[in-house]
Amino acid sequence: MKKRIYGTVFISALLVLGGCAEDKAEPSKTSDKVVAEHGSEAAKAQSETTASSKDKLEELTKQFPSKHPESIVTTSVSITEMLQILNVKPVGIPTSTHELPKGFEDVAQIGSPIEPDVEKIVSLKPDIVIGPQSIKDSLDKKIKNSKVDTAYIPTDSYDDLKISLEVLGKVLHKETEAKDYIAQLQEKETAVLDGVKGKDSSKVMVLFGSGESFMLMSENTYVGSLVKKLGATNIVNDVLKSSEAYVPMNMEDVVTANPDAILLVSHGDPTAALEQFKAEVKKNGAWEKLNAFKEDRVQALDYEIFGYASIEKATTGLEQLSEILYK
């Protein structure tokens, strides 16, 4: 029960900061899964993926009014970033500890992503409020009585961010800008993936939290999706067989999964977070038997890069992860 409570708290925290929120131990290297194979499988599925993305694009676009919205409020830092990329200035943006896009300093702030100030939103008289799909139900309950049009787009994973940028480009008449930006992303992404081709991938555990309170992050999260893009195996999906985005950490499951690398996402100073994590590990001898510890592959990630779902920082994230996972 305690773990489940922690799960609720941490998912809420990720939503606020990101603007969005289960064998025997195998060898330390899963040599049967290399990045080259990952790329080959992805290529074979390309036509299906393209068709699926097109359907999703059309479905998401239908939420928006036929008339081009000119006055926009967003409750998401991730979406705020996309609007800046498209050179669209909203009338309202979320309050956040993360640095907001340049040029948006004078834009009204409407409160936290999951607890927006509805009165403030209404006072801005927006044509539409755009929020993250992951907390649609929660936001709808708060906004529905305001009679303001709403639309929700996915922001949880890297691919979610790309399709959402396409959606915004289409409904805001900024299709060229969106396509150009995605093309730039693809070019940088390809360069990173080419750099790790043929290298053995790892079993990875991605943690979010601090102290004794941690959640495991699957490939359905932002950081998890970047790890997957690089061809690595996420123990949540491939060993624990869970489809949930966040899973309460269970020591026995982790020891059984025996990850080759452990990535820690924690608010604040990454070095301090890592030391705190290692101190907790020493309290349980089983942790030190994990391949990740024996091979010194436990890494705290830069919170400014990995602390929220960012389309602007995604390729930088891929570069940093490739250096950690394939050094």
- The residue that leads in pLDDT, 89 or 28, is 89
Residues pairing with 30 in the sheet: 201
Q: What is the mean pLDDT of residues 216-244?
A: 94
Phi, psi torsion values for 168, nearest 5 degrees: -65, -40
Phi, psi torsion values for 219, nearest 5 degrees: -75, -5
Separation CA 295–CA 42 (nearest Å): 30
Phi, psi torsion values for 204, nearest 5 degrees: -120, 140
Separation CA 257–CA 22 (nearest Å): 10
Is the model's pLDDT at 31 over the cut of 90?
no
pLDDT attached to residue 27: 31
Nearest to 87 by CA among 158, 154, 176, 157: 176
β-pairing, 203-210 with 213-217? Answer: antiparallel
pLDDT attached to residue 24: 30
Residues pairing with 128 in the sheet: 72
The single residue listed with the structure tokens 């309050």 is: 95
pLDDT tens profile 49-64: 466 788 999 999 999 9
What is 159-174 written as a DSSP string?
A: HHHHHHHHHHHHHTT-
Is the model's pLDDT at 308 over the cut of 80?
yes
Q: Which residues neighbour 87 within 8 Å (Cβ) at sequence distance 6 or greater?
A: 174, 177
Residues in the chain, overall count: 327
* CATH ID of 69-192, from 3.40.50.720, 1.20.140.10, 3.20.20.70, 3.40.50.1980: 3.40.50.1980
Separation CA 89–CA 205 (nearest Å): 38
Q: What is the mean pLDDT of residues 255-267?
A: 92
pLDDT band for position 218 (cuts 50, 70, 90)? very high
Is the model's pLDDT at 285 over the cut of 90?
no
Separation CA 206–CA 223 (nearest Å): 8
Is the model's pLDDT at 10 over the cut of 60?
no
pLDDT attached to residue 43: 41
Is the model's pLDDT at 65 over the cut of 50?
yes
pLDDT tens profile 144-189: 888 899 999 999 999 999 999 999 999 999 999 999 999 999 999 9
pLDDT attached to residue 51: 64
Is the model's pLDDT at 260 over the cut of 60?
yes
pLDDT attached to residue 212: 61
pLDDT band for position 97 (cuts 50, 70, 90)? confident
- The residue that leads in pLDDT, 164 or 31, is 164
- Helix H or strand E segment including 277: helix 270-281
Q: What are the residue boundaries of the structural domains of the chain, listed by start?
A: 2-43+198-325, 69-192
The overall longest dimension of the chain from CA atoms, in Å, is 61
- Report yes or no: 299 and 261 within 8 Å, Cβ to Cβ: yes
Is the model's pLDDT at 287 over the cut of 60?
yes
Separation CA 55–CA 13 (nearest Å): 31
Separation CA 194–CA 103 (nearest Å): 35
CATH number of 2-43+198-325: 3.40.50.1980
- Report yes or no: 87 and 81 within 8 Å, Cβ to Cβ: no
Question: 2 is written with which tokens?
Answer: 């305690």
**pTM for the model:** 0.83
Q: Tell me, what amino acid is at 210?
A: S
Most confidently modeled range among 32-46, 157-171, 235-249: 157-171
Is the model's pLDDT at 25 over the cut of 90?
no
Separation CA 194–CA 255 (nearest Å): 32
pLDDT band for position 252 (cuts 50, 70, 90)? confident
pLDDT attached to residue 211: 60
Q: Which of 93-97, 114-118, 143-147, 168-172 has the lowest mean pLDDT?
A: 143-147
Q: Do domains 2-43+198-325 and 69-192 have the same CATH topology?
A: yes
How deeply is 170 buried, as exposed, middle or buried, from its count of CB atoms within 10 A (0-12, 13-18, 19+)? Answer: middle
Residues pairing with 264 in the sheet: 207, 300
Question: Alpha carbon 132 to chain centroid distance?
Answer: 12
pLDDT attached to residue 17: 38
Is the model's pLDDT at 311 over the cut of 90?
yes
Asked whether the CA dihedral 76, 77, 79, 84 is positive or negative, the reply is: positive
pLDDT band for position 117 (cuts 50, 70, 90)? very high
Mean residue pLDDT across the chain:
84
Separation CA 174–CA 171 (nearest Å): 8
